[in-house]
Amino acid sequence: MSWQDTVRKELATADAARARGNEGMARVCARRAAGWAIKAHLGEAGVNLDTNSVIEHFRHMLAQDDTQAELRLLLEHLRMPKLRPNLEEDSFFPEDIDLIAEARQVIGMLFPGEGF
């Protein structure tokens, strides 16, 4: 299965989970979709982290000095709460953050012509 198919499947699963009222699963799938796109993007740049860990791909992108500010903000929203220094305060997202929409933005920024 191509990375595009995997990303589309994760986004469809995220949308379905949200429709069922399972926002936790929707967020998980949104993160995975963004992670697969980041992995593909890094691969095209010749970077192979030798892991399928979404966490490691997010960390790598956030550690790069050339990551755009807008992309950095989206990645901060999408990354797992346990990556943050103070888990207790950062375990909840503000209600106005839509991780599915933000995952689509990340994917669109990395692959503008793909139509996610």
pLDDT at 83: 46
Give the residue extent of every domain in the chain.
Answer: 3-110
Ranges of H-type helices in 20-113: 23-44, 54-63, 69-78, 87-90, 99-110
- pLDDT at residue 99, as a whole number: 92
Interval 11-42: pLDDT, tens? 999 999 999 999 889 999 999 999 999 999 99
Predicted model pTM: 0.84
Spell out the CATH class of 3-110: mainly alpha
* 67-101 pLDDT per residue, tens: 899 999 899 888 765 445 554 555 555 557 899 99
SS (H, E, C) 10-25: HHHHHHHHHHCCCHHH
